[in-house]
């Protein structure tokens, strides 16, 4: 029931950093406020389980949240649309459909997109996919399934980080699980492979994937995609039947295009309250922000940690109450799913590889899904 002091909260994106807020929409509306959630799809996929879905460890419905149903059951309005621009002076969000939505408080969890740093003709070539959004990995799985039964596909994976490692390993798992021809998977790295992590992690990941038949080409990035081939920086040409971009992410371009203050990579600049310093009614979390007090890695654990603070601060902002500061916390656990039940885990001195590491990741991921489903 609305009251005369009720305000309008708009959530741009239904991703990981908004999960606690989405779960508590009923509390917000019962206090007299309106809530509108804008998301590109009625369903949101959990990216941490995306490679496992590609490999067949999970069905799509096992790694997804019914965003629209969640919002509407709790008294909010869900708009299946995408934000293209924010007008902070007039407190209006412009959507891809042409619709506009006004707000009193806005929270952005617009995620990130995969970086494509080289010239390509990929827009006109079939069989080109990205590690994000997860819908693209689902399309990649289906494409592999249709085309890999009678032919050993030559698959190019572009990138040298965790996404490339997990995708490569899970492609090998998918071939085995769905009785496909074993593909020829080649990973093209701009520099080294998994270089942001310890030497032990690098060595174990590299050796495991190579033992599965994955070829890793170091310091040889792809600079062009052609029909049926890719070209590397050395001028070498390699046949391809399928390409997966997995070379890192960048924040949504919405903030730059809206004239909002951003960090070096274009993420919305926020203070310790996860709040835009110039526009205190705008908040954000996840991959789309630049946390000015202490720049954060693009890993899901920070979005999860931001959840309760973001929810508190949004409600507090609606009601002119004190905000809480976000503390990123200490070291986080790294766990990679390399396919076929093999994982790699590290946190400080703790290092586990093999099936136990995968089972730990599987338990944590399934628990997260159950908590917010």
Q: What is the pLDDT of residues 122-165, one digit of tens each?
A: 567 899 999 988 999 999 999 999 999 999 999 999 999 999 99
CB 241 within 8 A of CB 153: yes
Common-topology check for domains 8-113+250-318 and 116-247? yes
Omega before 224 within 30 of 0, i.e. cis: no
Q: How far is CA 42 from CA 26, 65, 199, in A?
A: 18, 9, 41
Given a cut of 80, whether residue 116 has pLDDT beyond it is no
Q: How far apart are the C-alpha atoms of 16 and 107, rounded to whole Å?
A: 13
What integer is the mean pLDDT of 330-352?
A: 95
Give which of 297, 291, 282, 285 is closest to 332, Cα–Cα.
Answer: 297
Given a cut of 90, whether residue 242 has pLDDT beyond it is yes
Structure confidence at residue 123 (pLDDT):
64
What class is the 8-113+250-318 domain?
alpha beta
At 117, the pLDDT band (50, 70, 90 cuts) reads low
At 298, the pLDDT band (50, 70, 90 cuts) reads confident
What integer is the mean pLDDT of 159-184?
A: 97
Q: ∠ CA 50-185-342 to the nearest 5 degrees?
A: 50
Q: How far apart are the C-alpha atoms of 115 and 99, rounded to whole Å?
A: 28
Enumerate the domain spans of the chain: 8-113+250-318, 116-247
CATH homologous superfamily, domain 116-247:
FAD/NAD(P)-binding domain (3.50.50.60)
Q: ∠ CA 347-157-153 to the nearest 5 degrees?
A: 130
Structure confidence at residue 5 (pLDDT):
76
Mean pLDDT score of the chain: 94
Structure confidence at residue 280 (pLDDT):
98
The four Cα atoms 266, 87, 112, 50 give a dihedral, to 10 degrees, of 170
At 2, the pLDDT band (50, 70, 90 cuts) reads very low
Structure confidence at residue 112 (pLDDT):
80
Given a cut of 60, whether residue 28 has pLDDT beyond it is yes
pTM of the complete model beyond 0.85: yes
């Amino acid at each position: 029931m609305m009251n005369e002091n009720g305000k309008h909260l708009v959530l741009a994106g239904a991703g990981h950093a908004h999960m606690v807020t989405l779960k508590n929409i009923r509390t917000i509306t019962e206090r007299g406020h309106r809530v509108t959630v804008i998301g590109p799809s009625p369903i949101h996929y959990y990216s941490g389980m995306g490679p496992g879905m590609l490999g067949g460890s999970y069905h799509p419905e096992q790694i997804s949240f019914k965003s629209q149903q969640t919002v509407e059951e709790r008294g909010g309005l869900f708009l299946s649309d995408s934000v293209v621009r924010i007008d902070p002076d007039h407190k209006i969000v412009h959507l891809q459909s042409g619709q506009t939505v006004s707000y009193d408080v806005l929270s952005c969890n617009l995620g990130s997109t995969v970086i494509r740093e080289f010239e390509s003709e990929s827009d006109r070539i079939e069989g080109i996919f990205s590690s994000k959004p997860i819908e693209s990995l689902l399309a990649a799985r289906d494409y592999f399934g249709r085309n890999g039964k009678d032919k050993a596909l030559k698959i190019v994976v572009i990138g040298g980080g965790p996404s490339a490692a997990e995708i490569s390993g899970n492609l090998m798992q998918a071939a085995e699980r769905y009785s496909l021809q074993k593909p020829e998977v080649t990973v093209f790295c701009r520099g080294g492979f998994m270089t942001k992590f310890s030497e032990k992690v690098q060595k174990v990941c590299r050796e495991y994937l190579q033992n599965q038949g994955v070829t890793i080409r170091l310091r040889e990035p792809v600079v062009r995609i052609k029909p049926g081939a890719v070209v590397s920086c050395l001028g070498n040409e390699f046949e391809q039947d399928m390409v997966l971009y997995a070379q890192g992410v960048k924040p949504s371009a919405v903030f730059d295009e809206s004239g909002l203050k951003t960090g070096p990579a274009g993420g919305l600049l926020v203070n310790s309250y996860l709040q835009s310093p110039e526009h205190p009614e705008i908040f954000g979390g996840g991959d789309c922000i630049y946390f000015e007090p202490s720049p954060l890695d693009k890993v899901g654990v920070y979005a999860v940690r931001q959840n309760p603070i973001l929810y508190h601060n949004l409600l507090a902002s609606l009601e002119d109450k004190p905000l809480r500061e976000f503390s990123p916390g200490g070291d986080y656990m790294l766990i990679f799913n390399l396919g076929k039940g093999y994982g790699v885990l590290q946190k400080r001195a703790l290092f586990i590889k093999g099936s136990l590491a995968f089972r730990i990741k599987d338990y944590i991921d399934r628990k997260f899904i159950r908590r917010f489903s």
